[in-house]
Chains A and B, each alone.
Chain A
């Protein structure tokens, strides 16, 4: 996958995943209080942990790509 496309994907994920997390947590809590989802607090913890890891991954990837882009720009400038 080209780097630009990968960066676009990362930014989309960054935008959407907090919304997914919020909605999933709401649904889990609702089901837990209804009594239809046992161990719902553990599921909530799992979801939170998962999104923390994802956020960290996204942040690291974004930094890496930005650095790569920056070095590409500086090379282009030197060549010119």
Chain B
């Protein structure tokens, strides 16, 4: 992701990066298309989501998690296209209201475009309930009770990155300034 402006990456620039990931993973055409659809739904779904504290667009956070998961799978010589799609989409339904849409619309979009029940199930398992608002503890307990191992591991997979490299650079430079 070098050369990308962390505050304003375009969809095309991110698509270029994702295509490089696809060739690294040696994906088939159908798999590429499936993940590109998930990428597009997620990017458009997060388009109006407020920026993160670091100033970067929200989608970049999801994208980084996707890259990290793809790298981990490649390192262990395993691959799950459905898990990768679920990582891209995991916040789409939950953040729909923040992005000026509705949860139902986001869920229907995933259902109609991807037409994959497994991915839809994974995304819905990872989505915190809205009414009544689900607390983190209750959410984790609910995830723990699911019998699908992919769902159990999707949450940790999305937690591997705690802060953005951009934020870490900012933190480092402020730390350097304080030393001067």
B76-A27 in contact (CB<8A): no
A42-B160 in contact (CB<8A): no
A50-B153 in contact (CB<8A): yes
B141, B143, B153, B155: the one within 8 Å of A47 (CB): B153
CA distance A61 to B75 in the complex (A): 26
A50-B78 in contact (CB<8A): no
CA distance A27 to B140 in the complex (A): 17
Judged by a CB distance under 8 angstroms, whether A76 is at the interface is no
Judged by a CB distance under 8 angstroms, whether A16 is at the interface is yes
A42-B76 in contact (CB<8A): yes
A49-B152 in contact (CB<8A): no
**Contact indicator per residue, chain B 139-168, by CB within 8 Å of chain A (1) or not (0):** 011011001110011011101101000000
A49-B136 in contact (CB<8A): no
B140-A12 in contact (CB<8A): yes
**Contact indicator per residue, chain A 16-57, by CB within 8 Å of chain B (1) or not (0):** 110111011001100100000001001101110111011001
Judged by a CB distance under 8 angstroms, whether B73 is at the interface is yes
Q: How many residues of B contact A (CB 8 A)?
A: 23
B136, B137, B140, B153: the one within 8 Å of A24 (CB): B153
Judged by a CB distance under 8 angstroms, whether A67 is at the interface is no
Judged by a CB distance under 8 angstroms, whether A9 is at the interface is yes
B160-A23 in contact (CB<8A): no
**Contact indicator per residue, chain B 23-50, by CB within 8 Å of chain A (1) or not (0):** 0000000000000000000000000000
B77 CB contacts on chain A under 8 angstroms:
39, 42
Q: Chain B nearest CB: distance from A42 CB in Å?
A: 5
Judged by a CB distance under 8 angstroms, whether B72 is at the interface is yes
CA distance A50 to B152 in the complex (A): 12
Judged by a CB distance under 8 angstroms, whether A13 is at the interface is yes
27 A–B pairs (Cβ distance < 8 Å), ordered by A: A12-B137, A12-B140, A13-B159, A17-B156, A20-B144, A20-B155, A24-B152, A24-B153, A27-B147, A27-B152, A39-B77, A43-B76, A43-B78, A45-B76, A46-B72, A46-B73, A46-B75, A46-B76, A46-B78, A50-B72, A50-B153, A50-B157, A54-B159, A54-B160, A57-B159, A57-B162, A61-B162
**Which of A's residues lie within 8 Å of B, judged by CB?**
9, 12-13, 16-17, 19-21, 23-24, 27-28, 31, 39, 42-43, 45-47, 49-51, 53-54, 57, 61
